[in-house]
Structure 1
Amino acid sequence: MFQAVIFDMDGVLIDSEPLWHQAEQQILGGLGVDFNQPPLLQSTGLTTASVIAHWYQHQPWPELTPAQVQQRIIDFVASGVASEGNAKTGLPALLEAIAAQQLKIAVATNSPKLLLDTTLQRLNITHYFNARCHIELVKQGKPAPDIYLLAAEKLGVAPQHCLVFEDSSAGVTAAKAAGMTVVAIPAAHEWHHSKFDIADHKIRCFTEFDYQHWLQASAKE
């Protein structure tokens, strides 16, 4: 069934979501954005550009352009990842198991190339990935399916033969729209949220994933 496994990055490969939150609070908050004012935004899984565009539209600030604000947020997160980023629990063992089954591996992220490269280098896992797809390679980020379709194309694998790991509703929506099988890894406070019901499977962390069953079964087919 499966010929490839595709990983989201933020919140899946690495626990970087707190860094994104800190960056938005510090940089956008410093520009006067009040995150408690409507329309509120659940930013997890969205592109940085779309988050900034949302707040700029409803609470515009002077001087800095949205592009300049975006770069400051990206630099903040990249610095944090480079200095203190850690792989999600169970990730190294899962990557090794997938590689042992000779399945192709890709990463598909709404983050830019700088953050993708920084993350893979920090975790020392670049060598596992046959394809690396970032937001700068597609016209639309998640929840559009573009980046997952691109990953499948780069791997040379049909979407229906791809297994995806995602932590956000936007990412799950994107992967399902691409016709892929999705394992959701929601944050603890979102575990029971209905927005993850469209996922094919749900786990709390990689150590809960029965990779021997899933990957060996796919190798037999």
Structure 2
Amino acid sequence: MNAKAAVFDMDGVIIDSEALWQSAQIMSLAEFGIAITHDECEQLTMGRRSDEIACIWQEKFNLDIHPSLLEADILTRVVSLIDRYGVAMEGLYEALNYFRREGYKIALATSSAHRVIQVVFDKLGLWKYFDVISSAADVERGKPDPAVYLATAKKLALNPEQCLVIEDSANGFLAAQRAGMHTWVVTAQCHHKKFSQAAGHCRTLSELVTVLHAQHAISCMEI
């Protein structure tokens, strides 16, 4: 692998926000007297764009509200929750500093809308680290379609195979794989069979840095 860029997913990779997204959906649907669980949110909406999330619930429960209004309500709630409770994933700054030190370009490729990116980057102080920021809101189809990853490679002026992707969801993993990128899965569930074709499996970003550092040391010894 001759990667020249590290491409991060955001929710669940950069920020511990998956539960906050689920809570936002639960609160929004509660306004309609509908009770959903965190497990249902994970199964049906994890890794999806906010407009797709709204459509999923609107269609499932035949809600008397336009999906765009439901989306806006969910986004308002999740932005507020992230601003109050969002924290960086373990090893985030260690990973960002590692990639910067090793000369990688650093990019974001997320399903989240720009207002969510804004609150996350402000909250965690991330603007200085990233060369490219891409939202699936700016492409025709969200993950698992590869469009947001292909758009990111184009912004980086790199071929997809020159990008190392860090993902945590099945939809994100499929999107990166379909884009032809080297995809590392970083999540506590990294060894699940749905991630069997990943380039690497780590439970945390700290572990990822340790593995990549070891691989780099071995490759230097072989030269």
TM over 0.5: yes
Paired with 2:100 and 2:149, the residues of 1 have a C-alpha distance of 20
- Following superposition, the deviation at residue 42 of structure 1 comes to 2.6
| Mean Cα deviation higher: 41-50 or 97-106 | 41-50
**What is the aligned partner in structure 2 of residue 182 from structure 1?**
183
Change over 3 Å in CA distance of 1:101–1:121 after alignment to 2: same
- Following superposition, the deviation at residue 124 of structure 1 comes to 0.5
- Following superposition, the deviation at residue 44 of structure 1 comes to 1.0
**What is the aligned partner in structure 2 of residue 105 from structure 1?**
106
TM-score, length-scaled by structure 1:
0.90
Paired with 1:137 and 1:215, the residues of 2 have a C-alpha distance of 35
- Following superposition, the deviation at residue 34 of structure 1 comes to 4.6
**What is the aligned partner in structure 2 of residue 202 from structure 1?**
201
Kept in 1: contact 2:49–2:113 (CA 8 A): no
Kept in 2: contact 1:107–1:133 (CA 8 A): yes
- Following superposition, the deviation at residue 58 of structure 1 comes to 2.5
**What is the aligned partner in structure 2 of residue 121 from structure 1?**
122
Aligned partner of 2:143: which letter? K
Q: Percent identity?
A: 31
TM-score, length-scaled by structure 2:
0.89
What pairs with 1:152-171 in structure 2 (closer than 5 Å)? 152-171=153-172
Aligned partner of 2:203: which letter? R
Aligned partner of 1:207: which letter? S
Q: Are 2:76 and 1:84 equivalent residues in the alignment?
A: no
- Following superposition, the deviation at residue 30 of structure 1 comes to 2.5
Kept in 2: contact 1:13–1:88 (CA 8 A): yes
Runs (5+) with no aligned partner, structure 1:
none
| Mean Cα deviation higher: 176-185 or 198-207 | 198-207
- Following superposition, the deviation at residue 27 of structure 1 comes to 0.6
Paired with 1:33 and 1:148, the residues of 2 have a C-alpha distance of 35
Paired with 1:198 and 1:118, the residues of 2 have a C-alpha distance of 33
Change over 3 Å in CA distance of 1:107–1:67 after alignment to 2: same
Give the number of equivalent residue pairs: 215
CA RMSD of aligned residues (A): 2.2
